[in-house]
Amino acid sequence: MHVLDLDYMLGLLPILLGYLPLTLEMAGAGMLAALVLACLLAVVRVQRTPGLNALAMLFISFFRGTPLLVQLFLFYYGLPQILTFLVAINGITATILGLTLHFSAYMAESIRAAIVGVDRSQTEAALSIGMTQGQLMQRIVLPQATRVATPTLMNYFIDMIKATSLAFTLGVTELMGATQKEAAGSFLYFEAFLLAAIIYWIVVEILSWLQRRLEKRLNRAYQR
């Protein structure tokens, strides 16, 4: 029977941790870009901006309706054949682009739901004192929608961190890619992937803890 090689795992830990920053950077960059894009999409959907609304719906439908892996392959292997200026695209950029587009489609829908959920009478109150649509969005609606959307958005962020592991299929050596290489050298697949799993798990747990603190803060105004 195979006994868990703890010494190997301990030795591997610093090596794998060395790739964690890249994983987090891809997820962080993807999340920031996705948030911006999702907010734009959500506002277009809520205000039913003529023309743009239909485009936003098509965008959301496509990126929710196809697997992330297919999208990544499409951007990295497929698109450069059509758009030659993309030939130079590297795996990291393609991953961030894929994560951004894919997750923004999901996030747009939850942000839209959160915006629509803000009490309509508050919108009227803001308009009644002479606020513009922009001021209303920025000062009244979005802050409250943020509170409602935060738990779901944090879940998407957690999902995105895990989804960065797909980058290894584009030849990026991030946490998953590094684990794969190390395991192939040592043949200790179980130890290597168990360690990778534990590292992802701990990162996600830390984020979940942050999420709970953030939610508590955001809920302050609503305590009776």
Partner 1 sequence: MIALHGITKRFGTHSVFEDIDLTLEQGEIIVIIGPSGTGKSTLLRCINYLETPDAGRLTVGDLSLDVTRASRQEILALRRRTAFVFQSYALFANKTALDNICEGMIVVDGLSKAEAHARGREILERIGLADKANAYPASLSGGQQQRVGIGRAMAAKAEVILFDEPTSALDPEWVDEVLSLMKQLALERQTMIVVSHEMQFAREVADRVVFMDEGRIIEQGPPDELFTNPRDKRTQRFLRKVLANNPVV
Chosen residue from 33, 46, 52, 131 binding partner 1 by CB under 8 A:
131
Contact call for residues 115 and 143 (beta carbons, < 8 A) = no
Regarding 221 and contact with partner 1 (CB under 8 A), the answer is yes
144 binds partner 1 (CB under 8 A): yes
Q: Does position 132 bind partner 1 by CB under 8 A?
A: yes
Restricting to residues 74-113, which ones interact with partner 1 according to CB under 8 A? none
Toward partner 1, which CB reaches closer, 81 or 223?
223
Determine if 129 is a binding residue for partner 1 (CB under 8 A).
yes
The minimum distance between CB 220 and partner 1, in angstroms, equals 8
Distances in Å between the alpha carbon of 202 and those of 19, 89, 137, 158, 182? 15, 31, 36, 11, 20
Single out the residue of 119, 189, 198, 202 in contact with partner 1 (rule: CB under 8 A).
119
Binding mask 2-41 for partner 1 (x = CB under 8 A): ----------------------------------------
Containing H/E element for 182?
Answer: helix 175-186
Cβ neighbours of residue 26 closer than 8 Å, sequence gap 6 or more:
92, 95, 96, 99, 164, 167, 174
115 forms part of the interface with partner 1 (CB under 8 A): no
Q: From 32-40, 63-71, 126-134, 159-167, give the range in contact with partner 1 by CB under 8 A.
A: 126-134
By CB under 8 A, name the one of 143, 171, 197, 212 that touches partner 1.
Answer: 143
Q: Which residues contact 153 (CB under 8 A, 6 or more apart)?
A: 35, 107, 110, 111
Among 1, 187, 213, 223, binds partner 1 (CB under 8 A): 223
**Count of all residues that appear for the chain in the document:** 224
Q: Residue 64's closest CA among 116, 104, 112, 111?
A: 104
Task: Kindly tell me the number of DSSP H helices and DSSP E strands found in the chain.
Answer: 11, 0
Site residues, partner 1 (CB under 8 A): 119, 121-122, 124-132, 135, 139-140, 143-144, 147, 220-224
